[in-house]
Amino acid sequence: MKFLFSIILLLLFAKSDYSQVAPKPYGKLPAPRQLSWQETDMYCIICLDMATFTDQEWCYGDDPASTVNPGDFNAMQIVSAAKAGGFKGVVIVAKHHDGFCLWPTKTTTYNISNSPWRNGKGDMVKEYQLACQKLNMKLGLYCSPWDRNNALYGKPEYVTEIYRRQLEELYANYGPLFMSWHDGANGGTGYYGGARELREIDRSTYYDWDNTFAITRKMQPMASIFGDAGPDVRWVGNEEGHAGETSWETYTPHSKAPGKVPANGTVITEEGTAGTRNGAYWMPAECDVPLRPGWFYHKSEDGQSKSPYTLLDLYYKSVGRGACLDLGLAPDKRGLITDEDLNILKQFKALLDETFSVNLAKDAIFKASNVRGKNPTRYGLKNLVDNDSYSYWATDDAVVHPELLIDLHFPRTFNVIRLRENIKLGQRIDSVGIDAYLDGTWKEIARATSIGATRLIRLANNVTARKIRLRLFSPVCITLSDFGLFKEPVHLTPPLISRDQSGYVSVTSEAPVASIHYTTDGAEPSLSSPVYTTPFLLLSGGAVKARSFDGEQTSPVTNRVFDHSKTGWRIINTERGTDRNYTNITDENPHTIYQRKIKDTTITFEPEAVDVDMGKVNEIKAFTYLPRQDRQMDGVVDRYTFYISNDGSQWKELVSGEFSNIKSNPIEQVINLKQPVQVRYFRFTGQHVLKGNSISIAELGIQ
């Protein structure tokens, strides 16, 4: 009898023990440093360096150290601005491609101690570190591998004696770091200690990443390493701040090992956007995007920062797609974030708080088709609303298509759905379907693929329902850690502003609104600004700002900066037979391009000129080149010359240079002239293209 009793006890114990068995992890898993990176959600990359003072995006490496002098530099103000936007960390550009170091390094004299800032006694990286400590913000560092100043760049000694020593100095003196950021832009023309030449390197072998990253691992084990292809965090493949609609946390890069780019030097960027289902490495995406058009401060870009509403949209498309958002902040020449940018950051945080502070499903009644081991304590549904990303609802191993019913007690209105997996057990779920019980039947309201760390589904319209149903599809049992329903307050969408070829500006709204008000003098549109009724003429260019109003509501402001109008412009060197699409250069349509199609790929690129007759003499303060906007690289010019002429036959060279970073951030390139010129004709010559054998142009313009 006693024996039988023990057997029963044993069986019972074994059963309850079985119910405690956690699901087996699935696929590749995040390392502790990657979990901590993922929890950061949003951080800012701070770009204040030589380029701030030369008004460029990349410097050549030959500007004197004395150029850098941010008189009012205040790391607390900068890091506080990031914090005010809801960001949890900052990545500091400690050295950009020009090689200038913001800390007093022993590796080169091209550093902050040879600038007038703080009388040569300053250490900007230290000031950032202290500010981060005070403000409880995470700190990461960016030290550009490419160094256009250093004479040794391109030789093995640069890697062993300069770059690695710089990383060691940073790791030893400014930790703890949550990120070590390694830029993919590498090799090209530069000063290189006076050689002023082109130095190409093999990006997959030159830096010997295995040994370089071994230093990071040893000295900053909790720093996630960012690179085009990881190894810890991958580049999402664009500088627009969004991951793909499907974006997996795992990734198999087309290179021999993570952290190494392929031998041809390019990561296939679309892959970074989507990742790889069941990929070979846990390597989630970072979505980087500057708040202003460029990464560094340019006065000419004042008023063009992204609106709080645009940032919210990017939040859904980055954090809401399992990635992290890395927003570029550009302190100005004083060394401060401008009031305009600070206000945008604060308003963005307010939008996030308004939307996400109340989870409408918090007190709902949840019913699932299965709970693992019938053990609601450990794997039950209350874990879905406890704000802990690692406590979770799990199903039995055999249950891979479970359903979850959510009863909200009474009909509630929502427009955002949030789901999270406990990623400590891998990315398991393939897809979900979400239904609402409406008018007596279940109606599908959303579908999504990759979930991972966070999936936010923003519905096109409000849904009001009491009962919701979640259908999950997974190759293995699920481990869902969060379910949330939120109501993003209604916003009027910002108006759309466009200009036609004859110079008339139209302002429209996607949905009907009571009124649209606009300004052309840079002021914020208010109810007392002119009401938009019919298109108006804007020949000389400038900023048009518009905003919709309806009752209590106002939309975000749209700010469109126009070049000088192109009315009456003609391209005059049209003698080449196939030049049919020349008109696309001046049609004010960013989506049509000019390009000569040279099918014979054995014909190599030759510099190519486009001559513009503006029809009359204009004052030119700046030239503009808009590259193609379809993310193709074919024909995108990265080195240019502009000429001017009074008669269309005698040309005088005016300015030449490079379009820095055009590959990753293909925005309108503005070449400001030192002195305005008065001419009727100008010539644009593409001296070099990123790809292909002819130039492509979306628009040319003047300001």
Residues near ligand FUL (CB under 6 A), total: 11
Single-letter code of the amino acid located at 484 = G
Q: How far is the CB of 561 from ligand FUL (least distance, A)?
A: 21
Tell me how far apart the alpha carbons of residues 341 and 345 are, in angstroms, rounded to a whole number: 6
- Taking CB under 6 A as the criterion, which residues in 310-339 touch ligand FUL? 328
Question: Residue 51 or residue 283: which is nearer to ligand FUL going by CB?
Answer: 51
- Taking CB under 6 A as the criterion, which residues in 259-278 touch ligand FUL? none
Q: How far is the CB of 638 from ligand FUL (least distance, A)?
A: 12
* 185 makes contact with ligand FUL (CB under 6 A): yes
Q: Is residue 49 within 8 Å of residue 98, measured between CB atoms?
A: yes
Q: How far is the CB of 87 from ligand FUL (least distance, A)?
A: 15
Give exposure, 501-533, as e/b (b: 16+ Cβ within 10 Å).
Answer: eebbbebebeeebeebbbbbeeeebeeebeebe
Question: Residue 206 or residue 393: which is nearer to ligand FUL going by CB?
Answer: 206
Q: How far is the CB of 48 from ligand FUL (least distance, A)?
A: 11
Instruction: Tell which residue, 144, 145, 271, has the closest CA to residue 202.
Output: 145
Tell me how far apart the alpha carbons of residues 453 and 657 are, in angstroms, rounded to a whole number: 43
Give exposure, 160-188, as e/b (b: 16+ Cβ within 10 Å).
Answer: eebbbbbbebbbeebeebbbbbbbbbbbb
Strands 224-227 and 233-235: parallel
Question: Residue 226 or residue 682: which is nearer to ligand FUL going by CB?
Answer: 226
- Taking CB under 6 A as the criterion, which residues in 119-148 touch ligand FUL? none
Question: Residue 28 or residue 182: which is nearer to ligand FUL going by CB?
Answer: 182
- Taking CB under 6 A as the criterion, which residues in 26-85 touch ligand FUL? 45, 47, 57-58
Q: How far is the CB of 59 from ligand FUL (least distance, A)?
A: 10
- Residue 66 is encoded by which pair of tokens? 């004395």
Question: Residue 45 or residue 345: which is nearer to ligand FUL going by CB?
Answer: 45
Single-letter code of the amino acid located at 345 = L
Q: How far is the CB of 147 from ligand FUL (least distance, A)?
A: 13
- Taking CB under 6 A as the criterion, which residues in 415-434 touch ligand FUL? none
Question: Residue 47 or residue 82: which is nearer to ligand FUL going by CB?
Answer: 47
Radius of gyration from C-alpha coordinates of the chain: 28
DSSP state string for 339-373: HHHHHHHHHHHHHHHHHHS--TTTT-EEEES--GG
Please name every residue paired with 436 in a beta bridge, in sequence order, or none if there are none: 443, 468
Q: Is residue 175 within 8 Å of residue 167, measured between CB atoms?
A: no
* Selected binder of ligand FUL within 558, 661, 685, 694 (CB under 6 A): 661
Site string for ligand FUL, 365-394 (x = CB under 6 A): ------------------------------
Q: How far is the CB of 290 from ligand FUL (least distance, A)?
A: 8
Question: Residue 141 or residue 456: which is nearer to ligand FUL going by CB?
Answer: 141
* 664 makes contact with ligand FUL (CB under 6 A): yes
Q: How far is the CB of 333 from ligand FUL (least distance, A)?
A: 17
Q: How far is the CB of 464 from ligand FUL (least distance, A)?
A: 43
Q: How far is the CB of 203 from ligand FUL (least distance, A)?
A: 13
In eight-state DSSP terms, residue 634 is B
**Other C-beta atoms lying within 10 Å of the C-beta of residue 680:** 16
Tell me how far apart the alpha carbons of residues 59 and 93 are, in angstroms, rounded to a whole number: 14
Question: Residue 49 or residue 563: which is nearer to ligand FUL going by CB?
Answer: 49
- HEC-encoded secondary structure of 212-252: HHHHHHHHCCCCEEEECECCCEEECCCCCCCCCCCCCCEEC
Q: How far is the CB of 58 from ligand FUL (least distance, A)?
A: 6
Question: Residue 49 or residue 488: which is nearer to ligand FUL going by CB?
Answer: 49
Question: Residue 182 or residue 469: which is nearer to ligand FUL going by CB?
Answer: 182
Q: How far is the CB of 665 from ligand FUL (least distance, A)?
A: 7
Tell me how far apart the alpha carbons of residues 681 and 667 are, in angstroms, rounded to a whole number: 24
Q: For tokens 């901590």, name the residue.
A: 36
User: Which distant-in-sequence residues (6+ apart) come within 8 Å of 396 by Cβ?
Assistant: 370, 372, 373, 477
Question: Residue 181 or residue 681: which is nearer to ligand FUL going by CB?
Answer: 181
Q: How far is the CB of 131 from ligand FUL (least distance, A)?
A: 20
- Taking CB under 6 A as the criterion, which residues in 477-516 touch ligand FUL? none
Closest residue to ligand FUL: CB criterion:
185
Name the strand (E) or helix (H) holding 287: strand 285-290
Please name every residue paired with 414 in a beta bridge, in sequence order, or none if there are none: 463
Single-letter code of the amino acid located at 504 = Y
Q: How far is the CB of 288 from ligand FUL (least distance, A)?
A: 6
Q: How far is the CB of 126 from ligand FUL (least distance, A)?
A: 21
Question: Residue 50 or residue 351: which is nearer to ligand FUL going by CB?
Answer: 50
Instruction: Tell which residue, 75, 65, 117, has the closest CA to residue 95.
Output: 65
Question: Residue 54 or residue 343: which is nearer to ligand FUL going by CB?
Answer: 54
Q: Phi, psi (5° rounding) for residue 148?
A: -80, 0
Q: How far is the CB of 664 from ligand FUL (least distance, A)?
A: 5
* 360 makes contact with ligand FUL (CB under 6 A): no
| Tally: H helices and E strands in the chain | 12, 34
* Cα-based distances in Å from 169 to 161, 249, 427, 613, 692: 12, 32, 36, 55, 41
Tell me how far apart the alpha carbons of residues 403 and 317 are, in angstroms, rounded to a whole number: 26
Question: Residue 49 or residue 421: which is nearer to ligand FUL going by CB?
Answer: 49
Q: How far is the CB of 293 from ligand FUL (least distance, A)?
A: 12
3-state helix, strand, coil in the chain (%, to 5): 20, 30, 45
Question: Residue 100 or residue 282: which is nearer to ligand FUL going by CB?
Answer: 100
User: Which distant-in-sequence residues (6+ apart) come within 8 Å of 383 by Cβ?
Assistant: 391, 392, 393, 481
DSSP state string for 152-164: TTTSHHIIIIIIH
User: Which distant-in-sequence residues (6+ apart) come within 8 Å of 490 by Cβ?
Assistant: 553
In terms of Cβ atoms closer than 10 Å to its own Cβ (0-12, 13-18, 19+), residue 378 is: middle
Question: Residue 185 or residue 219: which is nearer to ligand FUL going by CB?
Answer: 185
Question: Residue 45 or residue 319: which is nearer to ligand FUL going by CB?
Answer: 45
Binding site for ligand FUL (CB under 6 A): 45, 47, 57-58, 183, 185, 288, 295, 328, 661, 664
